Structure 1
Amino acid sequence: MGDLDDFYVHTLTVQTLTGTGAMGDVFAAPVTVPGWLEDKRRIVRDKNGQEVVSSSMFACDNAHLPKFTPDSKVTIDGRTAFVIGVANYTSGALDLPDHLEIDLT
């Protein structure tokens, strides 16, 4: 159990972007991830360095990092969003809680 698990009171479903096929984007099967959702608009940079507006930030355990590639599809509270970017916070020898912060459209 992680240090922040008590704060993970929200869940989302993520479908990891795995590539592009003849019919468009291809996504992995949906997976449920516990975490913390903060609905707050802010300007962030996307994978190309362009400024875009993020409508939400989702924090969760670092173990879920491979699931949140840019442009992966996320469903939370009946709303569909896409991953803009991910910040992976690790503390190393400081022994602080490690976590991800995922910016969503």
Structure 2
Amino acid sequence: MVTRVPPSLLRHRIGVEPYLGDGAYGPLYGPLVEHPALVGQAARVVRAADGREVVSSAQVIAAPEMDCPAGSRVTLPGGRITSAISTAVHTAPGLPVPASTEVMCE
């Protein structure tokens, strides 16, 4: 039974600076952490945390424990730095489908 996304499918490397909140001088981020991921780059309309419909230009699938809340800075494989619009952790205990984290990026 598959319990998580197989590492052999995560062919890219991304960098994530987790969003920690706002400080006196703007957004605060945690340290950069690299993760193996599968990155797709296509324009898709998604709903942001505040309910707005926005366009996602990159979608990321990674291991379920990746910490990437909405607002995090994400460095894509080509070096482009973008922001996480939304993050979803997918789990299905007892079913033969992989657990993963899906991040929609600007």
Question: Which whole-Å CA distance do the structure 2 matches of 1:46 and 1:15 have between them?
Answer: 19
Which residue number corresponds to residue 63 of structure 1? 65
Coordinate RMSD, CA, aligned: 1.4
Structure with greater contact order relative to length (CA < 8 Å, sep ≥ 6): 2
Q: What is the Cα deviation at residue 97 of structure 1?
A: 1.0
Give CA deviations for 1:69-94 in whole Å, capped at 9, x if unaligned.
11100111210100000121111111
Question: Which whole-Å CA distance do the structure 2 matches of 1:2 and 1:58 have between them?
Answer: 15
Give CA deviations for 1:49-69 in whole Å, capped at 9, x if unaligned.
1100000100001011xx211
Change (3 A) 1:22 1:79: same
Give CA deviations for 1:17-57 in whole Å, capped at 9, x if unaligned.
11111111111110001010000110000000110000010
Question: Which whole-Å CA distance do the structure 2 matches of 1:87 and 1:2 have between them?
Answer: 14
Q: Which runs of 5+ in 1 are unaligned?
A: none
Question: Which whole-Å CA distance do the structure 2 matches of 1:17 and 1:28 have between them?
Answer: 7
Q: Give 1:60's aligned amino acid.
A: A
Identity, % of aligned pairs? 27
Runs of 4+ in 1 over 2 A off after TM superposition: none
Q: Which runs of 5+ in 2 are unaligned?
A: none
Question: Which whole-Å CA distance do the structure 2 matches of 1:68 and 1:3 have between them?
Answer: 17
Select the structure that is richer in helix: 1
Alignment length, in residue pairs? 103
TM-score (norm 1): 0.92
SS at match of 1:6: helix
Question: Which whole-Å CA distance do the structure 2 matches of 1:37 and 1:58 have between them?
Answer: 5
TM-score (norm 2): 0.91
> Do structure 1's residue 44 and structure 2's residue 60 form an aligned pair?
no
Kept after mapping to 1: 8 A contact 2:17/2:73: yes
Greater mean deviation of Cα atoms: 19-28 or 34-43: 19-28
Q: Give 1:75's aligned amino acid.
A: T
